[in-house]
Structure 1
Amino acid sequence: MDSTDLLHILKEQAREISNEDICLARASIVDSVQDLPEKYRRAYSSDYFAYMYAAFQELRTCKISDKGEPVDIEEHRDLLLRISQQKDEGNARQMAFRRFVAVVIPYLAFIAGRTIHPPGMIFPGGLMITSQGSEYYCPVKNKQSGVELALCDFCKCRDSGELKGEVPDS
């Protein structure tokens, strides 16, 4: 599969996501962060959703190129599997969120080549995603890498420890 094929698929799936699905997905994010301190709650519920929604809108309106780049089918399947394993317990909000991210995250990771979380997003401890030139660095990349349900392995960010010359955990 190449990026042109995947973009066709994602655009078709995006057409199936209704405004109600988007509202429910947003509500799911708000629900999931209700126990966090205010500044993190805002970052996740507003900033993160705004970033995801902008990517969704971009996906819906972007032109499909005739020249596609290769997409690792196994990596794409692994991403979708991890998304599908997120809890939903029959919750309409969580199910809508899962459908929404199953379109947006592959777009960000395989088509747009952007980070999964917005640059500047703050994490607990006050650390945030930063950039130097065209590279992005995440303070939790290596800490989440290999975590069964985390999506960090698919993000273009590098670990912030690389900026300090730290050796990644093995």
Structure 2
Amino acid sequence: MKDSENPAFQKIHQIADEMKSIKTKGRLLEFIAEILMKYDRYSLAVISARARDEVECLPEPYRTKLLPYAKEWFFGRYHRILLNYRRGDFKKNCSLISDPETFEKYCEMIPKACFDEKKEGHRFVDKEKKPLYDLFYYLLCAYAMFVEEEPGHPPGTPFPGGFEVTQNSEGYFCPIRDKEEDIFYSVCNFCPAKQDENNI
């Protein structure tokens, strides 16, 4: 099946185009939440299985260290988005997205990432539905990076070698921030964290 024949193709392009036009954090929260609420229980179960499987294939002791952050990365953010939406927080947040240029580039990247055939497939996902599952991930990261202005990887997330995402009075710092530039679809290229100078 060609990408253009996939029912998700037009939907994801439309979502990315609409999201790109958003100017405020409150509206972005509202927009993302309303899309996420359209994912049914089956889709959420598949997405959860994907996330769990990606962690379980990692070697110990790194796997155990990463697990709680992987849970926060996906479903901690998912539940926080829906909670904030149901409380009406988006109505109170009229702050402008602080880095609109990076945000627009992120939105332009999403459809390309969701339909990139070179990206590794997954045993839980059929080809037709995979782009929508990938979209879920990119929406969660959009909320974290452009609404909460947090790193794509939650603070404390460990990486091989003993490094982790940290936070101090000067902001967030990540050991791989500037090491993912060759990976076009990596959220690290759009992340508000700075490169950790202790791991250059």
Q: Which of the five TM-score ranges fits, normalised by the shorter chain?
A: 0.7 to 0.9
Percent identical pairs in the alignment equals: 19
Letter in 2 for 1:76: Y
Residue 74 of structure 1: aligned partner: 104
Question: Whole-Å Cα distance in 2 between the matches of residues 142 and 66 of structure 1?
Answer: 31
2:41 to 2, 19, 28: 19
Letter in 1 for 2:33: K
Letter in 1 for 2:164: M
Q: TM-score, normalised by structure 1?
A: 0.79
Residue 107 of structure 1: aligned partner: 143
CA displacement at 1:82 relative to structure 2: 5.4
- The 5 Å alignment of 1:108-123 reads 108-123=144-159
1:92 to 112, 119, 125: 125
Residue 60 of structure 2: aligned partner: 38
CA displacement at 1:139 relative to structure 2: 0.7
Residue 61 of structure 1: aligned partner: 83
Residue 8 of structure 1: aligned partner: 30
**Structure 2 residue runs without a partner (length 5+):** 1-21
Deviations 1:106-137 (A, max 9, x none): 11111111111121111111111112225111
Aligned-residue Cα RMSD (Å) equals: 2.8
Letter in 2 for 1:111: V
SS of aligned partner of 1:92? coil
SS of aligned partner of 1:136? strand
Q: Is the 8 A contact 1:79 1:154 kept in 2?
A: no
Question: Whole-Å Cα distance in 2 between the matches of residues 134 and 53 of structure 1?
Answer: 28
SS of aligned partner of 1:38? coil
- The 5 Å alignment of 1:157-168 reads 157-161=193-197, 164=198
Question: Whole-Å Cα distance in 2 between the matches of residues 147 and 10 of structure 1?
Answer: 24
Q: Is the 8 A contact 1:10 1:103 kept in 2?
A: yes
SS of aligned partner of 1:2? coil
How many residue pairs were aligned?
A: 164
**Structure 1 residue runs without a partner (length 5+):** none
CA displacement at 1:157 relative to structure 2: 1.1
- The 5 Å alignment of 1:143-158 reads 143-158=179-194
2:74 to 42, 52, 62: 52
Question: Whole-Å Cα distance in 2 between the matches of residues 49 and 147 of structure 1?
Answer: 23
Question: Whole-Å Cα distance in 2 between the matches of residues 26 and 19 of structure 1?
Answer: 10
Shift in CA distance, 91/16, structure 1 to aligned 2, threshold 3 Å: same
Shift in CA distance, 27/42, structure 1 to aligned 2, threshold 3 Å: farther
CA displacement at 1:23 relative to structure 2: 2.4
Question: Whole-Å Cα distance in 2 between the matches of residues 87 and 15 of structure 1?
Answer: 26
Q: Is the 8 A contact 1:119 1:129 kept in 2?
A: yes
Mean Cα deviation higher: 79-88 or 124-133: 79-88
Q: Is the 8 A contact 1:138 1:160 kept in 2?
A: yes
CA displacement at 1:43 relative to structure 2: 4.0
